[in-house]
Amino acid sequence: MTEFRLIPPSEYRQYYEVLHEGYQSVKQYPISFDAADTDEAEAKEWLSNHPTYGLYEETVLVSAVSLRMPWGNLPGPSGVPHIGRIVTHPNYKGRGYAKKLFHQLEQEVLIQQLRTPRVTLGTASTHPWLKKMYEQLGFEAFDQVQLPNKQHVTIYFEKNYKGE
């Protein structure tokens, strides 16, 4: 049985474990995702500042996703919620957890609670499979930017919810 819910700052160790282990695979590419180098203190601070949702199998956090809000200290590029730090612990990859987490985030938070007309996310142009995954989830690329201190070009995607 899986449970979708907001991850409280008190669960930062579980969140850190998923984030740390889940992002290790990107270190083999010329990509600089901040999440790949987050420590426990930063994970706790992140949970205090950004709504982060988890998918739990029993009591174990298996997948997580964060929202960077337009009024927060790290807004996205378009004045709407920005999805970030989508991650699944490697022990649970290939079971559809990230996709299920993403769909629940969309329905329960973005559409029903926030009633946002659209959402954005960004990823490295050089990542071998994320661009295709986001397109399969209904996102469309709208910009490419070389952000300061990043090894990669960031592709920004958006998904519109008008009519849903």
* Sequence ranges of the domains in the chain: 2-117
Asked whether the predicted pLDDT for residue 163 surpasses 80, the reply is no
Confidence band for 3, pLDDT divided at 50, 70 and 90: very high
Q: What is the predicted pLDDT for the residue at 6?
A: 98
| Sign of the alpha-carbon torsion through 144, 115, 47, 19 | negative
What is the tens place of the pLDDT at every residue in 50-69? 999 999 999 999 999 999 99
**Contact 100/2 with Cβ under 8 angstroms?**
yes
**Gap between the Cα atoms of 27 and 99, Å rounded:** 23
Q: What is the predicted pLDDT for the residue at 151?
A: 83
**Gap between the Cα atoms of 134 and 158, Å rounded:** 9
Rg of the chain taking only CA atoms, in angstroms: 15
Of 77-86, 92-101, 124-133, give the lowest mean pLDDT range. Answer: 124-133
Q: What is the predicted pLDDT for the residue at 27?
A: 85
Q: What is the predicted pLDDT for the residue at 164?
A: 55
Residue 98 DSSP SS3: helix
Write out the two tokens for 68. 């960077």
Contacting residues for 115 by C-beta, under 8 A, at least 6 apart? none
**Gap between the Cα atoms of 67 and 49, Å rounded:** 10
User: What does DSSP say about strands 60-68 and 52-57: parallel, antiparallel, or unpaired?
Assistant: antiparallel
Q: Where are the alpha helices (DSSP H) in 26-129?
A: 40-49, 97-104
Confidence band for 150, pLDDT divided at 50, 70 and 90: confident
Residue 140 DSSP SS3: strand
Fold that domain 2-117 belongs to in CATH: Aminopeptidase (3.40.630)
Q: What is the rounded average pLDDT for all residues in the chain?
A: 94
Among candidate residues 96, 29, 82, 88, the one with its CA nearest the CA of residue 51? 82
**Gap between the Cα atoms of 89 and 87, Å rounded:** 7
